[in-house]
Amino acid sequence: MSGQRVDAKVVMLGKESVGKTSLVERYVHHRFLQGPYQNTIGAAFVAKAINVGGRNVILGIWDTAGSERYEAMSRIYYRGAKAAIVCYDLTDRSSFDRVKFWVNELQNFEENCRIYICGTKSDLVENDKSMRQVDFHDVQDYADEIKAHLCETSSKTGQSVDELFQKVAEDYVNYSDFQVQSEPKGVDLNSRRDLTSYTCCHH
């Protein structure tokens, strides 16, 4: 088990109980556990193989503790990560404010890590529009500004979950292929923008 090869490290960031673990659980085991409090589902580390254009990519998905008391340590978590999925709860404005904190951290300390912003619990919003506290277009503007990919998912219905991780894997393959070729020249920033400027969710 410990000898398992992992190609890319993907960290899940986000405030407590926004549904990071549910998202992973949904993606890996295709299930959603119902309960009064959904804070704790799934394992903290998952290695998942994804097929991208005939090539097998293994994502190591790292769940992180979202509590504010561990905020100071979050830097240790995302060190060397190829991608970060920053989650927020569509029905909780404060959780989106925390997204900005992690995005800042990532931009400052882990510039090679691509950022995916993920609004969770979209099923709740669909059932009752008044539940929505974070406007999609506001977030889209923000995502464009920081050149991040944005999507809204539901771990309950599975909406956009597989697409999100597929995209992470595809970007990793495209990007790392490019990196191998151009490594002597250094990192080409333009190529990064091209890779991260399109979205998988259409609203």
Partner 1 sequence: MSLKSERRAIHVDQSELLCKKGCGYYGNPAWQGFCSKCWREEYQKARQKQIQEDWELAERLQREEEEAYASSQGAQGGQTSLGFTKFEEKKSNEKARKVTTVKKFFTASSKSVPKKDPEEKSGKPVQAGGRERSADILRDLKGLFVPPWELASSAEVLYDKLRDMKEAKAPSPSLTRQYSIETDRVSKDFIEFLKTYHKAGHDVYKQCKVFLETIHHKKESNIDELSEFTQDFYQNTADKLQMYWKVPPNKVEEAMDQIEKFIMTRLYKHVFCPETTDDEKKDLTVQKRIRALHWVTPQMLCVPVNEDIPEVSDMVVKAITDIIEMDSKRIPRDKLACITGCSKQIFNAIRITKNEPASADDFLPTLIYIVLKANPPRLQSNIQYITRFCNPSRLMTGEDGYYFTNLCCAIAFIEKLDAQSLNLSEEEFSRYMSGQASPKKQDTDIWDADTCPGVKQMHRNLDLLSQLSERQERIVTGAKKLEKDLIDWTEEVTREVQDIVEKYPLHIKANSQALASIDSENVEDDRLPPPLQPQVYAG
21-40 residues near partner 1, rule: CB under 8 A: 21, 25, 33, 35, 39-40
Mark 77-96 with x for binding to partner 1 (rule: CB under 8 A) and - for no binding.
Answer: x-xx----------------
4 binds partner 1 (CB under 8 A): yes
In a 13 Å sphere around the CA of 202, the CA atoms on its Cβ side amount to: 0
User: How many Å separate Cα 133 from the centre of its chain?
Assistant: 20
Count CB-CB contacts under 10 A for residue 193: 10
∠ CA 185-57-23, nearest 5°, is 115
Beta carbon nearer to partner 1, 33 or 124: 33
- Interface residue with partner 1 among 2, 34, 108, 130 (CB under 8 A) is 2
Beta carbon nearer to partner 1, 130 or 180: 180
**DSSP 3-state percent helix, strand, coil across the chain (nearest 5):** 45, 20, 35
According to DSSP, residue 79 is labeled T
5 binds partner 1 (CB under 8 A): yes
Beta carbon nearer to partner 1, 64 or 154: 64
- Interface residue with partner 1 among 72, 183, 189, 190 (CB under 8 A) is 72
Minimum distance of partner 1 from residue 183's CB (angstroms): 13
- Interface residue with partner 1 among 28, 65, 124, 195 (CB under 8 A) is 65
Beta carbon nearer to partner 1, 70 or 109: 70
Q: Tell me phi and psi for residue 39, to 5 degrees.
A: -65, -35
54 binds partner 1 (CB under 8 A): no
Q: DSSP per residue over 26-64, as a string?
A: HHHH------S-TT--S-SEEEEEEEETTEEEEEEEEE-
- Interface residue with partner 1 among 50, 60, 92, 160 (CB under 8 A) is 60
Cα separation of the two ends of the chain? 41
Q: Tell me phi and psi for residue 5, to 5 degrees.
A: -80, 140
Query: Where along the sequence are the contacts to partner 1 (CB under 8 A)?
Result: 1-9, 16, 20-21, 25, 33, 35, 39-45, 47, 60, 62-67, 69-70, 72-73, 76-77, 79-80
